[in-house]
Amino acid sequence: MHLSEEIGSRLQEERKRCGMTQNQLAEALGISKRTQANYESGSSDATASYLSNVAVQFSFDVPYILTGRRTTASLDSLSEAEDSIVQQYRSIPPEDQRAIRRFVKAMADDAVKGST
């Protein structure tokens, strides 16, 4: 796989992590679906402006898209175990992420109830 294809694959992964279709993302960014599809297939390289927009508007992990290494930007204070959990969470499908968020919220709510 060529670098452009790898970047496109990770871009697609980030879009799906956000639960968006190519059409939805393209529309939100004011680009054509074909442009989005080309970026994801690696047939066109995403522009710096595009990458900046997806980072700001949708919290795409741009360093991951470009390098394949996940970041925990602004979460520098995470322990190694916490960082590992974040990386694992990011690698699972959006529906599983939602289930985990519900589970963690329920546990946190129980903890608050138990401390009062």
Per-residue pLDDT of the chain (116 residues; tens, 9 = 90+): 789 999 999 999 999 988 899 999 999 999 999 999 999 999 999 999 999 999 989 889 999 999 998 875 554 567 888 878 888 888 888 899 899 999 999 999 898 888 76
Q: CB within 8 A of 9, min separation 6: which ones? A: 1, 40, 42
> In this predicted structure, what is the pLDDT of residue 32?
97
Tell me yes or no: is domain 3-67 CATH 1.10.260.40.
Answer: yes
> In this predicted structure, what is the pLDDT of residue 72?
58
> In this predicted structure, what is the pLDDT of residue 59?
85
> In this predicted structure, what is the pLDDT of residue 47?
95
Six-digit token string for 20: 């968006």
d(CA 25, CA 17): 12
Q: Per-domain residue ranges for the chain? A: 3-67, 80-115
Measure the N-to-C terminal CA separation of the chain; round to a whole number of Å. Answer: 55
> In this predicted structure, what is the pLDDT of residue 45?
95
The residue behind tokens 């995403």 is: 46
> In this predicted structure, what is the pLDDT of residue 115?
73
Q: Sign of the CA dihedral 10, 44, 48, 30?
A: negative
d(CA 105, CA 41): 37
> In this predicted structure, what is the pLDDT of residue 18?
87
